[in-house]
């Protein structure tokens, strides 16, 4: 299966620690998106890439968050100095070119204690 | 600004009964509209989408949705639900900048 994959699926960390998540999109998909989903809410847009270029960042993406897609393939999302409010499901999606049809990965559930 | 409203947080139907999940959107131009389904602990799966053309769109798993511009609605329907349809359903609207805005979701419960 060549769907979107995310690693790890679950992460428990203590407040103040740094965490990094990885997303591998569907091969040949140029666009890659990151979303955050908290309990009882729909996914909220964080940022997206066209190949290796980060084209837009949400106001939700504080300066503790950074995302990269160095070779236009996989992407990483890093959260520095985690806070309890960062506890959420982090979803990655990819799409071909400018198509709006996004394919989602299974997500990484982050718990900050 | 674009927004999506799903008025029902929870819906309970009996297995075999018909289903309609409501969705209203706010967008100035012709919207791109989506319905996604999310099973517990899983990512989102696209059920169907509307970009243009026929306002009644067919999706996977027997779902369909109808775009009504006059009502700014894109309701999801299924004639007969199965226990495996129990999940959370998200309506979403896409804007010209390729960003998708999701509603808060409707959790569907199925009674045996």
Q: Is B45 on the interface with A (CB under 8 A)?
A: yes
Contacting residues of B for A93, CB less than 8 Å apart: 44
Q: Which of A41, A101, A106 sits opposite B43 (nearest CB)?
A: A106
What is the model's pLDDT at position A16?
Answer: 97
Q: Is B107 on the interface with A (CB under 8 A)?
A: no
pLDDT tier at A38, thresholds 50, 70, 90: very high
List the single residue in A with minimal CA-CA distance to B105: A42
Contacting residues of B for A103, CB less than 8 Å apart: 46
Q: With contact defined as beta carbons under 8 Å apart, do B12 and B78 qualify?
A: no
Parallel, antiparallel, or unpaired for β B87-94 and B32-38?
antiparallel
pLDDT over 90 percentage in chain A? 80
Residue among A44, A11, A35, A42 at smallest CA distance from A95: A35
The 10s digit of each residue's pLDDT in A64-105 is 999 999 988 999 999 999 999 999 999 999 998 766 788 999
Q: Look at residue A42 and tell me whether its pLDDT is greater than 60.
A: yes
**What gap in Å lies between CA A65 and CA A91, rounded to an integer?**
14
Taking CB atoms and an 8 Å limit, are A44 and B103 in contact across chains?
Answer: no
pLDDT tier at B2, thresholds 50, 70, 90: confident
Taking CB atoms and an 8 Å limit, are A42 and B102 in contact across chains?
Answer: yes
pLDDT over 90 percentage in chain B? 77
The 10s digit of each residue's pLDDT in B32-78 is 999 999 998 778 999 999 988 899 999 999 999 999 999 999 999 99
Contacts of A52 (CB under 8 A, 6+ apart): A69, A70, A71, A72
Q: Look at residue A1 and tell me whether its pLDDT is greater than 60.
A: no
pLDDT tier at A61, thresholds 50, 70, 90: confident
Taking CB atoms and an 8 Å limit, are B101 and A45 in contact across chains?
Answer: yes
Cβ burial, residue B66 (10 Å; 0-12/13-18/19+):
middle
Peptide bond into A11 cis (omega under 30): no
Q: Is B10 on the interface with A (CB under 8 A)?
A: no
Eight-class DSSP state of B31? P
- What average pLDDT does this structure show over B21-27? 94
What is the model's pLDDT at position A2?
Answer: 77
The CA–CA distances, whole Å, from A109 to A96, B40, B60, B99 equal 26, 12, 27, 22
């Amino acid at each position: 299966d060549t769907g979107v994959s995310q690693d790890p699926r679950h992460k428990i960390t203590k407040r103040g620690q740094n965490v990094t998540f990885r997303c591998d999109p569907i091969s040949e998909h140029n666009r890659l998106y990151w979303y955050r989903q908290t309990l009882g809410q729909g996914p909220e847009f964080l940022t997206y890439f066209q190949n290796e270029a980060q084209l837009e960042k949400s106001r939700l993406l504080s300066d503790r968050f950074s995302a990269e897609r160095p070779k236009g393939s996989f992407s990483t999302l890093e959260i520095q100095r985690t806070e309890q409010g960062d506890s959420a499901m982090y979803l990655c999606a990819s799409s071909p070119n400018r198509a709006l049809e996004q394919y989602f990965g299974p997500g990484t559930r982050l718990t900050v204690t | 600004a674009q927004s999506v409203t799903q008025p029902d947080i929870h819906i309970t139907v009996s297995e075999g009964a018909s289903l309609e999940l409501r969705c209203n959107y706010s967008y100035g131009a012709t919207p791109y509209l989506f319905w996604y389904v999310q099973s517990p602990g899983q990512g989102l799966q696209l059920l169907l989408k509307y970009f243009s053309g026929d306002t009644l769109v067919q999706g996977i798993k027997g779902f369909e949705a109808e775009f009504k511009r006059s009502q700014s609605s894109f309701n999801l329907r299924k004639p007969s639900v199965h226990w495996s349809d129990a999940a959370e359903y998200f309506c979403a609207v896409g804007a010209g900048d390729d960003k998708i805005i999701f509603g808060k979701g409707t959790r569907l419960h199925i009674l045996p």
